[in-house]
Amino acid sequence: MTNSLPLTSRSLPIALLRARERVMGPIRSVLADAGITEQQWRVLRVLQEEGPQEPTQISERACLSLPSLTRILKKLEDKKLIKRQAVEKDRRRQIVEITKEGMQIIHANLPEMLRLAAQTRELMGG
């Protein structure tokens, strides 16, 4: 019986994962120096761009599952990079907001992140 699946070396999902890792490696390095993960960065960027949000909105915009986001928000809150407040009319809901310290992380690292994005676009021919 012949195997109809392509070799993993020719598999599109594997190739996409390898490409993602090549792009994310330098980004992870910059963020590690800043003391945050790529997922934490995405949350901070969403809050910086969109303003205060509910967790469901953040999870959609940052491409994170709600259970993962819950852990990430706790770590960001522990680092004082975000703050959470209950919604006044419905205490079960909460609003998440970036803090001044969170904005400092964004401003300190955004120029290098933009440089890496431009470099990646150039390497990809775009």
Q: CATH class for domain 11-117?
A: mainly alpha
Amino acid of residue 103:
M
Please tell me the predicted confidence (pLDDT) of residue 66: 96
pLDDT in tens, 39-97: 999 999 999 999 999 999 999 999 999 999 999 999 999 999 999 999 888 878 999 99
- Phi and psi at 108, nearest 5°, equal -70, -25
CA atoms of 117 and 68, how far apart (whole Å): 25
Domain boundaries, the chain: 11-117
Closest of 65, 92, 94, 93 to residue 82, by C-alpha: 94
pLDDT in tens, 15-33: 899 988 988 999 999 999 9
Provide the token pair at 53.
Answer: 């949000």
82 pairs with which residues across the strands?
98
pLDDT of residue 124: 79
